Structure 1
Amino acid sequence: MKFYGINYLQTQSNLNDYLKYIIIFSTLFVLIVVFSLYMRHRLQTKYRDLTIIAFLFLLFISGVQYADYTNSQNVHSQSSQMVNFVRLLSKEKNVSVNAVFASSVQLTDGVIVKVGDGYYRVNLSADQATYSLVEVWLTNPDISIVNN
């Protein structure tokens, strides 16, 4: 079971977002190059066809990116909620913020937190305004801590 520290929760970045941006900007670059070739050689239809293909691909990728953007905004929001929750829990338990680890990067009901040597299950209310901690014991004590 993996547990994530506060440093990882604060600095996690999504490589997929960067990859999508690279694809979009490279397609835009190809579109500009092919369109300029089409404007130069108007009689050759291959550049016009390549321009249309690149434009449609850019349009498709932009639509996919917008859908992923709204999803990633929700994930980032929940990740920042987890950072705030870890800070709040460290104050409540009077431990260092670096001694609190969570089994998920998002604040959800049922997440397991490690505070010092103890493990707790977080029960959130429906509106996530209140929570309760229930002490739990792991059946598989083989854990790894990610704190980059």
Structure 2
Amino acid sequence: MTFYTYNYLHTSQGNWQYARVIIISILVIVFMIFMIHYLRNQLDVKYKDLSIIVGTLLLLILAMQYNDFSAMQSATKQTGQITAVVKESAARLKVAPRRVSINSTSQNANLMIRTPKGFYRIDYNADGTQFILEKVSLHDPSKVTIKGGF
């Protein structure tokens, strides 16, 4: 069973988004440079061809970005909900949030948390707005792996 620390959940939300923005920015700058060279030297068609290639690549990446935008928003929202659950659980158990890890990066029905005080199962009420913590003991706690470290 894999548990994710609060720090892992908090820092892994936006790393790939920054890389995409950087790639798109570089492509826009390269596209503008090629277009300026083509407009200055209209008889030299290599800049026109390079502009078309870079522009097509830019449009392709922008289309993929738009396609993944809703998926990223959903994932960010779920990770934000999970970090809120970790914070609330840490407050209830009087433990620092960095010492708490959870077994999922999205909100589902079988959430468990690991703290220095032991393992706890999270039981939600019928409408999913509140939860209680129930202490549990694992059959084989040696098979627990933690991503993000304490």
TM-score > 0.5 by shorter chain: yes
Counterpart contact for 2:13–2:79, Cα < 8 Å: no
Q: How does 1:115-126 map to 2 (within 5 A)?
A: 115-124=115-124
User: Which ranges of structure 1 fall in alignment gaps of 5 or more residues?
Assistant: none
Query: 1:30 offset after TM fit, Å?
Result: 1.3
Counterpart contact for 2:5–2:98, Cα < 8 Å: yes
1:113 equivalent in structure 2:
113
Counterpart contact for 1:121–1:136, Cα < 8 Å: no
User: Which ranges of structure 2 fall in alignment gaps of 5 or more residues?
Assistant: none
| Superposition CA RMSD, Å | 2.6
Counterpart contact for 1:90–1:96, Cα < 8 Å: yes
1:58 equivalent in structure 2:
58
Quick one: structure 1 residues 44 and 103, their matched pair in 2 at CA, closer, same or farther if it must change by over 3 Å?
A: same
The yes-or-no answer on 1:36 pairing with 2:36 is yes
Q: Distance in 1 between matches of 2:83 and 2:129?
A: 15
Q: Distance in 2 between matches of 1:124 and 1:70?
A: 26
Deviations 1:36-60 (A, max 9, x none): 1111111222221221221121111
Equivalent position amino acid for 2:25 in 1: F
> Could you tell which deviates more after superposition, 19-28 or 33-42?
19-28
Q: Distance in 1 between matches of 2:12 and 2:128?
A: 23
Runs ≥4 residues deviating over 4 A: 123-127
1:141 equivalent in structure 2:
142
> Could you tell which deviates more after superposition, 71-80 or 133-142?
133-142
Q: Distance in 1 between matches of 2:139 and 2:96?
A: 22
Per the alignment, in what secondary structure is the counterpart of residue 3 of structure 1?
A: strand
Q: Distance in 1 between matches of 2:128 and 2:32?
A: 48
Alignment coverage as a number of residue pairs: 148
1:9 equivalent in structure 2:
9
Quick one: structure 1 residues 27 and 6, their matched pair in 2 at CA, closer, same or farther if it must change by over 3 Å?
A: same
